[in-house]
Amino acid sequence: MHHSQVLQRCLVPAVWIVLLALPQALFAHGVIRYDKGLWWNGEKFEARTVFTKEGVFQDSVAGEPDTTINLEGGFVVPPLADAHNHGLGGPGFEQQVNSFLAKGIFYTANPNNILKLTKDVRPYVNKTGSVAVTYSNASITGPGGHPIQIYDRMAGQIPGWSKEDMNGQAYFVIDSEADLERVWPIVLAGEPDFLKVMLEYSEEHEMRAGNSEYFGKRGLDPRWLPAVIERAHRAGLRVVVHVSSAADVDVAVKAGADAIAHLPLERIAEATAREAAERGVVFMTTLVSHRPSSHVENLDEVHRHNLSLLSRFDVPMVLGTDGERGLLGEIAELARLSTMSTARVLDLATRATPQWIFPKRVIGTLKSGAEASFLVLDQDPLKDLAALSSIRLRVQNGHELEVEPQAETKPSIGQHIVSPLMHEGVDAAIALYRKLRRERPEDFDFTESQLNALGYELLKHDLSGEAVEIFKLNAEMFPTSANAHDSWGEGLMEAGRVAEAISQYERSLEMQPHNEGAVEKLKQLRALKPEE
């Protein structure tokens, strides 16, 4: 079954969020002195005594401090930041805030969110005890462009909402100067913090436009990108451009984009990197991505080429996530590719990324005069970046945070096989699943819900063929589950395989006769199936 119960919370009045119990801050007063800490200076850790006063770092203060805290040799770094994260936009907000802060992520940017949800959550972010967030709200795309396919599916799961309701809430469609003139006041009325524009293999735009096979696999006509960026800049908004190909990157850089969301799935040209450096265009990494890349020969080498090229020309980079492994997974992937030093990765995570998200704030540094926000780690991240998860103390604006402990859970097998699925194809992912289930059954969460969630994530990104195979595998692993067969039926329905979908929904109903959702889907499917 789909996640309709969760999504029903998406568009209820904002009152539901008033009940949130956000992580508490211990409001320390006066001057605090921190002794015996090893403080990150951007290159190495050094022993220092540091003071905070009124939420700001001070190298020294007059008189005696009100409180002295012994950090006992802990390693002190600025908080982490994620410049491309689709969380903190609505459902599960309270749990997400706690999870972000527990992981030491104090700053993030949400590059595409339903406008109504942004309005609901804004009063509860950017304050002590919560996460600092910037929102782009609805993105700008072309007819049938990404991410329309995602929000079309969501609309079907939100009571009272149609696909048409998503236009202007989750995305804006522009295909002419008249379209841009019409939607621009609506864009600005939503008070976005920045703007997100979609390019998707722009070199093939004419071929993909109007072709149903490329629904959700195209973006804005590149001819309109300079006009969009020019209007955004006049309004004081930075523009982040979603890309897939090297041509997309070149188009975005030449059009005046401020940032590129995603390293492309192709090698960036040297001339493009040089121009990006001259213009100060920022690149978001998003190496651990849900984007299909099985068509890419040796993706690791493509990423290594692009990272090394951008570094050679001193093109600014920030960290962003676009998959289920999160920020620590993105950091681990950067470390695995070995194109930059551990110190450089740590600098991206703690300085470059937060400073890009909030350029007017003095953050991402532990120097005097900066906001007094930091993490104290038990272990040295220069020896192993996994130490970023060994957080002993979280301080935000001079206040120590109390967060709910994160439950010890096994890694999701669904999340673990996402990377091979996207890079090598669904058959490779299924083979890895079987191997791990056979050889390492205790190391991962193999419960039914893990593959089910992966299947729906694939459907959300218009990958119905891959979703069907994952749902089929889940039904094989859990043959007596009505839910597994129901989900398999839904995947087949999305893929247009009507007869097979009917068979799976009938099987689900045999196991769970009161499944009203399956009854309704069968009515729809039988209406589509011609009489024998």
- Tell me the per-residue pLDDT of 95-143, one tens digit each, with 9 for 90 and over: 899 999 999 999 999 999 999 999 999 999 999 999 999 999 999 999 9
pLDDT of residue 17: 41
**Which residues make beta-bridge pairs with 67?**
32
* Amino acid letter, 446: F
Q: Considering the chain, what percentage of its residues have pLDDT values greater than 70?
A: 92
pLDDT of residue 5: 34
- Are 330 and 319 in contact by the 8 Å Cβ rule? The answer is yes
Helix, strand or coil, per DSSP, at residue 144: coil
pLDDT in tens, 408-427: 678 889 888 887 887 788 99
In terms of pLDDT, which residue wins out, 324 or 493?
Answer: 493
Helices (H), 190-319: 205-208, 225-234, 246-255, 270-279, 299-312
Q: Tell me the average pLDDT across 239-249.
A: 97
pLDDT of residue 191: 96
Q: Tell me the average pLDDT across 28-47.
A: 91
Give the total residue count for the chain.
532
pLDDT in tens, 210-221: 899 999 999 999
- Are 137 and 113 in contact by the 8 Å Cβ rule? The answer is yes
Tokens for 252, please give them. Answer: 């975005």
Mean pLDDT, all residues of the chain? 90
Q: Tell me the average pLDDT across 26-34.
A: 75
pLDDT in tens, 158-186: 778 888 999 999 999 999 999 999 999 99
pLDDT in tens, 459-511: 877 788 999 999 999 999 999 999 999 999 999 998 889 999 999 999 998 99
In terms of pLDDT, which residue wins out, 23 or 503?
Answer: 503
CA dist 53 and 88 (Å) reads: 30
For residue 115, give the nearest of 158, 157, 172, 46 by alpha carbon. Answer: 172
pLDDT in tens, 381-407: 999 999 999 999 999 999 999 988 766
- Residues forming CATH 1.25.40.10 domain(s) in the chain: 413-528
Helix, strand or coil, per DSSP, at residue 384: coil
- Are 170 and 121 in contact by the 8 Å Cβ rule? The answer is no
pLDDT of residue 9: 41
CATH topology of domain 1-135+361-408: Urease, subunit C; domain 1 (2.30.40)
pLDDT of residue 516: 83
Cα dist from 390 to 3, 76, 314, 377, 505, whole Å: 33, 11, 31, 5, 46
DSSP for 443-503 reads: TSB--HHHHHHHHHHHHHTT-HHHHHHHHHHHHHHSTT-HHHHHHHHHHHHHTT-HHHHHH
Q: Tell me the average pLDDT across 330-342.
A: 94
Q: Considering the chain, what percentage of its residues have pLDDT values greater than 90?
A: 72
pLDDT of residue 18: 41
**Does the pLDDT value for residue 25 go beyond 60?**
no
**Which residues make beta-bridge pairs with 376?**
76, 393
pLDDT band at residue 324 using 50, 70 and 90 as cut-offs:
low
pLDDT band at residue 342 using 50, 70 and 90 as cut-offs:
very high
- Are 54 and 158 in contact by the 8 Å Cβ rule? The answer is no
Dihedral sign (CA 449, 450, 455, 459)? positive
CATH topology of domain 413-528: 1.25.40
Q: Count Cβ atoms within 10 A of the Cβ of residue 70 and give its class: 0-12 exposed, 13-18 middle, 19 or more buried.
A: exposed
- Residues forming CATH 2.30.40.10 domain(s) in the chain: 1-135+361-408
Q: Tell me the average pLDDT across 348-367.
A: 98
The pTM score is 0.84
b/e code 372-397 from CB counts within 10 Å (16+ = b): bbbbbbeeebbeebebbbbbebbbbb
CA dist 82 and 90 (Å) reads: 18
For residue 137, give the nearest of 199, 90, 80, 201 by alpha carbon. Answer: 90
DSSP for 352-365 reads: IHHHHHSTTS--S-
pLDDT in tens, 49-107: 999 999 999 998 988 999 999 999 999 999 999 999 998 987 788 889 999 999 999 99
